Structure 1
Amino acid sequence: MSGKFDLFFDNLYLENYKSLLNFAYRLTNEKNFSEEIVQDAFVEAYKKIELLYHHENPVGWLYLTVRNISKAYLRELAALKRRISFDDVQLAVTDRQSDELLQLNDLTQNEADLIRKFYIYRFSLKELSQEYGISLSACKMRLKRAREKLMKAYEIKT
């Protein structure tokens, strides 16, 4: 990437990060996901920096990208809530029962812990990634895979 694109991107980031973060938060009401959404938007901007450099409204492009990523996140979250609802059972299920439930579904102890901490104990992705010593995106992927494994096992057993 040339120097003019680097400078353009740096200025775009520094001047718009906070306002885009606030915008994403207003759309999602979720601080950690808002940070991730804005970072994803800047990753897209970096990938298309030449197009963005010549765009008539690069800031508008960023806002639109944040909005689209936020909508995709909200759709994924709604679909997840429809498929698995730990909230309905969390009051009735003790830790021991939740251990049994998760073990019945062939999850490894790590996967079960990750699912339990995220859905039952409401750990944020950032907290989980720090606890496990992995990146935020790796944590999301582990959670996604554990969730898919749980859903697949649940479908087979019901």
Structure 2
Amino acid sequence: MSTRGMRSDAVNKGGANSMTSEQREIFSEIYIDNWPKLLRYAKANKWCAGVAEELVQDTFHDAWSKFGELSDHENIGGWLMLTLKNKMRNYIRSRQRDVKLFAEYLDRPEDIAAPDNFVNKIITVNALSTIQKFICDNFKDDDVVLFQRVIVDGKSHKDAAEELGITVWASQKRIERMRKKIKEEFPDF
């Protein structure tokens, strides 16, 4: 079924919460038709390869919540691709900013080179940087390891969550809370 030229009565401007079964079916077809192409595109970018699935899923989340706008668009695939490109661009900017700012606060970047021994290594080093001390003093060991995996190593929330035995949502919320605390203490971070 082609989604171009959808019947106007099949589209509800109210968003995803009030979608009819016909609209859900249309959305499912859009999802099935476009998921592989978007995923290939995201994986092709070296900066986004590890989080490609999350970025594509976020793209479809936006499509779901803006179904009225999406269904009126004459090039649905183009709308999805542009949304994905924007998400990738934002992810890359955020990742580069995190790496740059975190590196600026580290006195000894080699202290975090061995992720498996990160917590022990960071605690036993004599000359801890200010931010390292703050992280060790204010967060549980699991949170420190999660921070290392997602922010420093650039792993996806999905991979980090699987490794630590938590949900993706828990990983995202923990990082969000940690960033907020760190930002309060270090406004440039």
Under a length normalisation based on structure 1, what TM-score does the superposition of the two structures give? 0.79
Matched, 1:115 2:136: no
Unpaired runs of 5+ residues, structure 2, are 1-18
Alpha-carbon shift at residue 133 of structure 1 (Å): 3.8
- Counterpart of 1:12? 30
Q: Is the 8 A contact 2:99 2:152 kept in 1?
A: no
Matches for 1:1-158 after TM superposition, within 5 Å: 1-85=19-103, 88-89=109-110, 90-91=112-113, 95=118, 96-100=120-124, 101=128, 104-105=133-134, 106=137, 107-118=139-150, 124-150=156-182, 152-153=184-185, 155=186
| Bigger shift: residues 3-12 or 111-120 | 111-120
- Deviations for 1:38-80, whole angstroms, at most 9, x for unmatched residues? 0011011111112211211111000000001111111111110
- Deviations for 1:95-115, whole angstroms, at most 9, x for unmatched residues? 434135587312222322322
The two structures, once aligned, show a CA RMSD in angstroms of 3.0
Distance 1:126 1:66 in 2: 18
Distance 1:53 1:122 in 2: 34
Q: Which has the larger radius of gyration?
A: 2
Aligned pair count reads 155
Identity %: 27
| Bigger shift: residues 93-102 or 76-85 | 93-102
| Bigger shift: residues 2-11 or 78-87 | 78-87
The DSSP-based 3-state class of the residue aligned with 1:134 is coil
The residue identity in structure 2 corresponding to 1:142 is R
Alpha-carbon shift at residue 92 of structure 1 (Å): 9.1
The residue identity in structure 1 corresponding to 2:20 is S
Unpaired runs of 5+ residues, structure 1, are none
Change beyond 3 A, Cα 1:140–1:28: farther
Under a length normalisation based on structure 2, what TM-score does the superposition of the two structures give? 0.67
Q: Is the 8 A contact 1:24 1:38 kept in 2?
A: yes
* Higher percent of residues as helix: 1
Alpha-carbon shift at residue 22 of structure 1 (Å): 1.0
The residue identity in structure 2 corresponding to 1:12 is I
Q: Is the 8 A contact 1:17 1:38 kept in 2?
A: yes
